[in-house]
Structure 1
């Protein structure tokens, strides 16, 4: 991957020691293939951002804020049985909001949110989570830009991108996805596309 690009998510990027081989119907890879085009479009839209620059970093965080607020709110309303047991640990909106406030910007809940949207079904939850957790992998790449900024306020407000460091949250999530039954795959794909659409809308208005 070009170091100059700003990846939204790194699909199927293994952590050191993680095997690429998976069962043919592993939901992780079903979602990767089904959302590849949406992922690439989002990456292309963010590619011009230089996160060492305060204005670009604020624009990036602002574009993330509305979708994260809405999707995490949706997931909080879904029965725990349909979510990973550590879902509360995975939430990142609070850190994102703190970064924005640290950079002098108030959170606007209308930014990137889907006004009056129908709540997703429980069966769509794995797809919504896939997009959020995939962006965590991309965040590891983006963080390398942020920490090299000459702006101390940029460097001091990296809670969102550094969230979960050292906790191996992606491998545990990938294992959870792999255990989802095949009959739920289509609904999960709908959930992932819905999440990507929220981020794309926020990006286009940012």
Structure 2
């Protein structure tokens, strides 16, 4: 769902313009493990299974986006953080699948996400979330075909920025080194991304997205 490249266990200190490539390389194994718990491409996916995945994602994105806003919003306008929020899109999809405000409020949130109080770690998390948006276009195409004619909503979360998904990713890549210009901080950005992948993988496993659930 999110990009792949050679993984090295010892993060390098990159040139600022190469930070994206370094993140991709240093998180490859984390990404691959996280991908394995996302089963939205399954030919056997049911509407209830799709809903369970979105519920689990909501439990991650709600606290992540709140922390990112606290740490980054207003400090780095070039990141366009408000435009990148996915929680409203998840809420739109979940309402289309039967949730109401009261049931959304009861959905469990991840209780122990890594701290995003510092800029480098927050940028690492944002890298993962934006990469997921880019990679989610493949999932969107599958869901659109798989659920053709079904009443499952409009896939707002995976549609994300619509035709602007590519430009938004490019803008993030250009803004990232400006938000983290100090070379010595790059390994912390990498660690933040790795921790985010690990939290994603663990939460989806713990959420039992293949098990029955009810509103």
* TM-score after normalising by structure 2: 0.76
Task: Give the match for residue 62 of structure 2.
Answer: 69
Q: CA RMSD in A?
A: 2.6
Q: Does 1:135 pair with 2:132? A: yes
1:130-169 superposed matches below 5 A: 130-148=127-145, 149-154=147-152, 156-167=153-164, 168-169=167-168
Task: Give the match for residue 57 of structure 1.
Answer: 50
Q: Does 1:30 pair with 2:28? A: no
Q: 5+ unaligned residues in a row in structure 2: which ranges?
A: 6-13, 208-215
Tell me the CA shift for residue 99 of structure 1: 0.7
Task: Give the match for residue 121 of structure 1.
Answer: 118
1:10-25 superposed matches below 5 A: 10-11=3-4
In 1, Cα distance between the equivalents of 2:124 and 2:115?
A: 16
Structure in which a larger fraction of residues adopt helix: 2
Larger Rg computed on CA atoms? 2
Task: Give the match for residue 17 of structure 1.
Answer: none
Q: Does 1:104 pair with 2:98? A: yes
Tell me the CA shift for residue 77 of structure 1: 0.4
In 2, Cα distance between the equivalents of 1:162 and 1:75?
A: 21
Q: Does 1:193 pair with 2:194? A: yes
- Contact residue 120 and residue 189 of structure 2 kept, 8 A: yes
In 2, Cα distance between the equivalents of 1:103 and 1:40?
A: 29
In 2, Cα distance between the equivalents of 1:160 and 1:151?
A: 19
* TM-score after normalising by structure 1: 0.79
Tell me the CA shift for residue 64 of structure 1: 1.2
Task: Give the match for residue 210 of structure 2.
Answer: none
Aligned length: 189
Distance change >3 Å, CA 86–CA 116, structure 1 → 2 = closer
- Contact residue 3 and residue 24 of structure 2 kept, 8 A: no
Q: Does 1:40 pair with 2:38? A: no
**49-58 vs 129-138, which deviates more?**
49-58
Tell me the CA shift for residue 110 of structure 1: 6.1
In 2, Cα distance between the equivalents of 1:84 and 1:101?
A: 31
